[in-house]
């Protein structure tokens, strides 16, 4: 029994983090989605675009964000800028009122980010909605690159790339998050080449307004659910690294944990709400991508990690004749956990952490937060206020 559990667990862990990337790389290279070639961005007239920024108490970012938005390479007469400040108690309203180009929406009370996006959708007049966070900056050509993808009528959503700015002196929170997003971005790129990206990042993504679906206000991962509802309705999600949003990493691991627990809880919530996507006879490639890229990591893989270690220990301690191969695998596992422990201790002491230690630390940290997200999700009420994780300035 232990051997059966061991092999199932090792397959799930390997496939979730290494096997699937190998598979989707091959599929994207040799079996890419065939679509009509798009023309150049200059060959078509730019559509009107609404940029939506949902924010709560982000006064410190408003001037920098507005300078960034107003400097984008896109016709100003075709640009709506909508801020939903969600009952902010700081100087957000007065700062935004100084910009004549901005539409400011505020219900006067905190309703949550999902409600804010729903409000902006109802107000926007443009056929393309571009969502971005207040605390990140976009590259100058981001909008042109995004709208170019909508020339393909199979595309209903476009996801830009999320980049984490950090330097060598930053701690594990920034370095780990940056490395994770490089890994995640490459998977999105391959997913899209094969068929469709699986979800979009809230820092920068766009949708056709006609395809936007109102989400329940208790939705945790609004960006993921909005984009995946579009994919569920038969459209593809494009991914482009040429349109990107840059933000700082989390202030520390405590703040990063708040973020990871929320994301993991949102992932589990999404698995239940998108249960129809488990039908491969209806959704085909999308089911394969969704289960391989998201569902395994949000549900089964963290459990498999524990079962892998426990079953490996039982086998080594109880089946002497099998000790050779299984002992090596157990040694590798223990070495990974030891490196993660060293990374944790060095991080707690404020020391610089080498990649050899912070990669296993951050990997196990992510999986641990899946378990911590369960009580978070079960005890979470339908409160509408969002919980922000503090980031470096």
**CATH number, domain containing residue 201:** 3.90.550.10
pLDDT at residue 341 greater than cutoff 90: yes
**Confidence at 54, pLDDT banded by 50, 70, 90:** very high
* CA 326 – CA 3 distance, rounded (Å): 10
Nearest CA among 261, 268, 260, 269 for reference residue 216: 269
Nearest CA among 9, 24, 21 for reference residue 302: 9
* CA 363 – CA 248 distance, rounded (Å): 20
Tell me, yes or no, whether 247 and 375 share the same domain. Answer: no
Tell me, yes or no, whether 318 and 212 share the same domain. Answer: no
User: Can you give the pLDDT at residue 41?
Assistant: 45
Residue 387 lies in a domain: no
What residue ranges in the chain does DSSP mark as E strands? 49-54, 79-84, 102-105, 128-132, 137-138, 155-165, 204-208, 236-248
Task: Give residues with Cβ within 8 angstroms of 271, minimum separation 6.
Answer: 294, 295, 298, 299
> What's the token pair of residue 105?
């929406």
Q: In Å, what is the CA distance from 71 to each residue of 66, 139, 184? A: 8, 9, 28
Tell me, yes or no, whether 232 and 330 share the same domain. Answer: no
**High-pLDDT (> 90) share of the chain, %:** 79
DSSP secondary structure string for all residues of 222-248 = HHHHHHHHHHHTT-EEEEEEEEEEEEE
User: Can you give the pLDDT at residue 349?
Assistant: 85
The average pLDDT across 13-40 equals: 89
Task: Give residues with Cβ within 8 angstroms of 331, minimum separation 6.
Answer: none
Residue 195 φ then ψ, to 5° = -155, -65
Tell me, yes or no, whether 104 and 202 share the same domain. Answer: yes
pLDDT tens digits for range 319-336: 765 568 899 999 999 999
The average pLDDT across 261-272 equals: 96
Tell me, yes or no, whether 276 and 345 share the same domain. Answer: no
User: Can you give the pLDDT at residue 388?
Assistant: 65
**Confidence at 171, pLDDT banded by 50, 70, 90:** low
Range in 12-21, 42-51, 270-279, 283-292 with the lowest mean pLDDT? 42-51
User: Can you give the pLDDT at residue 391?
Assistant: 64
User: Can you give the pLDDT at residue 352?
Assistant: 80
Residue 325 lies in a domain: yes
**Final residue in a domain of this structure, among 287, 310, 327:** 287
Residue 357 lies in a domain: yes
Tell me, yes or no, whether 10 and 22 share the same domain. Answer: no
User: Can you give the pLDDT at residue 304?
Assistant: 98
Nearest CA among 393, 374, 392 for reference residue 177: 392
The average pLDDT across 57-83 equals: 97
Residue 293 lies in a domain: no
User: Can you give the pLDDT at residue 167?
Assistant: 62
Residue 314 lies in a domain: yes
Number of residues that this document lists for the chain? 393
The average pLDDT across 206-218 equals: 97
**Domain coverage including residue 347:** 2-17+298-379
The average pLDDT across 158-175 equals: 79
Query: Into how many domains does the chain fold?
Result: 2
Q: In Å, what is the CA distance from 379 to each residue of 265, 289, 311, 350, 373? A: 11, 30, 32, 33, 10
């Amino acid at each position: 029994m232990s051997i059966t559990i061991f092999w199932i667990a090792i397959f799930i862990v390997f496939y979730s983090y290494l096997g699937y990337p190998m598979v989707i790389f091959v599929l994207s290279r040799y079996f890419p989605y065939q679509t009509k070639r798009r023309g150049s961005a200059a060959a078509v007239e730019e559509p009107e675009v609404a940029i939506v920024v949902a924010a709560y108490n982000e006064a410190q970012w408003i001037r920098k964000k507005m300078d960034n938005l107003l400097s984008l390479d896109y016709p100003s007469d075709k640009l709506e800028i909508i801020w939903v400040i969600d009952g902010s108690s700081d100087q957000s309203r007065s700062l935004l009122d100084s910009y004549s180009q901005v539409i400011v929406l505020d219900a006067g009370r905190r309703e949550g980010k999902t409600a804010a996006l729903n409000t902006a959708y109802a107000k926007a007049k443009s056929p393309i909605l571009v969502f971005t966070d207040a605390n990140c900056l976009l590259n100058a050509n981001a909008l042109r690159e995004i709208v170019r993808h909508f020339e393909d009528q199979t595309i209903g959503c476009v996801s830009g790339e999320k980049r984490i700015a950090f330097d060598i002196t930053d701690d594990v929170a920034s370095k780990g998050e940056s490395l994770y997003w490089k890994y995640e971005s490459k998977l999105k790129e391959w997913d899209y080449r094969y068929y469709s990206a699986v979800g979009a990042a809230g820092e920068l993504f766009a949708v056709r307004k006609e395809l936007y679906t109102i989400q329940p206000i208790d939705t945790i991962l609004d960006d993921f659910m909005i984009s995946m509802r579009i994919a569920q309705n038969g459209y593809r999600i494009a991914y482009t690294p040429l349109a990107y949003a840059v933000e700082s990493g989390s202030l520390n691991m405590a703040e990063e944990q708040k973020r990871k627990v929320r994301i993991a809880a949102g992932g589990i919530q999404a698995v239940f709400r998108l249960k129809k996507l488990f039908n491969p006879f209806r959704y085909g490639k999308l089911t394969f991508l969704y289960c391989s890229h998201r569902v395994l990591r949000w549900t089964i893989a963290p459990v498999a990690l524990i079962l892998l270690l426990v079953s490996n220990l039982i086998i080594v301690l109880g089946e002497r004749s099998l000790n050779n191969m299984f002992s090596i695998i157990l040694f590798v596992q223990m070495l990974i956990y030891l490196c993660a422990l060293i990374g944790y201790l060095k991080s707690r002491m404020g020391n610089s952490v080498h990649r050899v230690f912070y990669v296993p630390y951050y990997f196990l940290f992510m999986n641990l937060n899946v378990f911590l997200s369960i009580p978070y999700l079960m005890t979470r009420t339908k409160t509408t206020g969002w919980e922000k994780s503090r980031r470096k300035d």
